[in-house]
Amino acid sequence: MMFDRGTQVVDCRHGMGLGRGGGLAQRGTLSEAGSSDVIVLAMSPGRRHITKPVCELTYGMRKQDIQVSVLVLQAGSGIPDVEMRSGSFGISQEEIKQISRHKLAIIHLGNIPDHIMKKAREILSYVEIPAIVVCQPPVDFEDFAKAGILTRVVKPKDKNIQTKGIVMEIVTGVVRGETSTRDVLNKLVKDVRLTMKEIEN
């Protein structure tokens, strides 16, 4: 029996980050893994969008041999269709193409349920991809369905489907700027593996 280390190559040189932060936490950057399996979507860094949980969860998944790319959105602040001082949320054609190359998206959102629904709906309205939503509050599939988002468990009522993509799983209890618990990481890894198995079968 031979023991060896597994290596993952992550390309962090897609483009220069325009916002504050370093490494993977810069706005408008894509770090692409060797395999286009899973992509994590992080909101733009700033006072309210702290990328620490994204880095921790991504590192944890890579330790479990999951190939993970990370896309930090160029305009991830604010919420869709609202003029805010911190900026309005939006997703570019290039970002849509980058996300679409992958089999599964993990969307890291915040702690305001209304913002979570609006951002998830905006992203999944453009990208036909299975997704796992990671956030702080205890939202459920019914909440997403009420917002017109396709989910694995509950479908939107009255044919009010506003997304191409579908929410497969939800991981809650992830607090921005705080270290994620082992239970949260274990749930995310389990959900990713089960979802990838379902996609590939």
* Contact between residue 120 and residue 107 where contact means Cβ atoms under 8 Å apart: yes
The pLDDT of residue 122 is: 93
The pLDDT of residue 23 is: 45
* Contact between residue 156 and residue 149 where contact means Cβ atoms under 8 Å apart: yes
Give the pLDDT confidence of 69-106 residue by residue, as tens digits: 988 887 655 566 544 444 567 888 999 999 999 999 99
Q: Which fold has domain 12-200?
A: Rossmann fold (3.40.50)
pLDDT tops 80 at residue 25: no
Give the pLDDT confidence of 146-189 residue by residue, as tens digits: 999 999 999 998 778 999 999 999 999 998 778 888 999 999 99
Name the 3-class secondary structure at 144.
helix
* Phi, psi for 116 (deg, rounded to 5): -60, -50
CA distance 43 to 33: 19
pLDDT bucket at 20, cuts 50 / 70 / 90: very low
CA distance 97 to 15: 15
The mean of the pLDDT values for the chain is 81
pLDDT tops 50 at residue 15: no
Instruction: Rounding to the nearest 10 degrees, give the CA dihedral for residues 48, 127, 88, 178.
Output: 0
CB atoms within 10 A of CB 155: 14
* Contact between residue 38 and residue 69 where contact means Cβ atoms under 8 Å apart: yes
Average confidence (pLDDT) over 52-81: 81
Query: What does the chain come to in residues?
Result: 201
The pLDDT of residue 164 is: 96
pLDDT tops 60 at residue 53: yes
The pLDDT of residue 43 is: 79
